[in-house]
A and B are shown apart, each in its own frame.
Chain A
Amino acid sequence: TQLLEQSPQFLSIQEGENLTVYCNSSSVFSSLQWYRQEPGEGPVLLVTVVTGGEVKKLKRLTFQFGDARKDSSLHITAAQPGDTGLYLCAGTNYGQNFVFGPGTRLSVLP
């Protein structure tokens, strides 16, 4: 069974600070995705990474896929209260049994 771990589990920071959250596995994935979920709503896709070493940027968010395609990181620059939410990573191997990590709950205080 493929498992994804995320760290930290909880993170509370002040507006303007930078942060990095991590998604790790002992398994290789063909693609990995990051989602953000707000309370009472469904997760919303932020990015998909498919190539080892790939870096994608989405405004103040930078996503990196590990060279071995087993891990990923999400870095947020100058966090804002609107970044508050649950960040989920998810991996799949060519569409087989999609796996989600437990999430990192981020709180950005004004």
Chain B
Amino acid sequence: EAQVTQNPRYLITVTGKKLTVTCSQNMNHEYMSWYRQDPGLGLRQIYYSMNVEVTDKGDVPEGYKVSRKEKRNFPLILESPSPNQTSLYFCASSSHSGANGYTFGSGTRLTVV
């Protein structure tokens, strides 16, 4: 089954403790992206990657890092999480730079206390 897999689904952590949210896709998509979704603010893009070793900032990149060492994986790293990073996070992938539609993961609900 074609899918984007995120882990974990739920995570509660403390301020300053480094964490990684994993994302993997099995569709050989070139384009991958991370979004956060907050009430009243909609989906906002954090980082995206056009291909292996190519990453770029989205609208809200502060406090996040990403890497794209393999085509299928695009982990999101929070080096020092803060409470304002409490949110619902989605990874998404697509061929052709997103123009033909995203496949989204099921989401990671992160709470930073």
Contacts and interface: CB of A to CB of B under 8 A. Distances in A.
Given A95-B31, A98-B45, A101-B42, A42 B99 contact: no
Interface residues of A, number: 24
Contact of B107 (A40, A88, A100): A40
B107 A41 contact: yes
Contacts of A30: 99
A33 interface: yes
**Range class of the B interface residue count:** 20 to 34
B60 to A, nearest CB: 12
Given A44-B104, A102-B41, A102-B42, 6 more contacts: A42-B107, A43-B43, A48-B101, A94-B97, A95-B99, A100-B43
Given A95-B31, A95-B96, A95-B97, A43 B102 contact: yes
Interface of B: 4, 31, 33, 35, 40-45, 48, 50, 58-59, 90, 92, 96-107, 109
A42 B97 contact: no
A98 B33 contact: yes
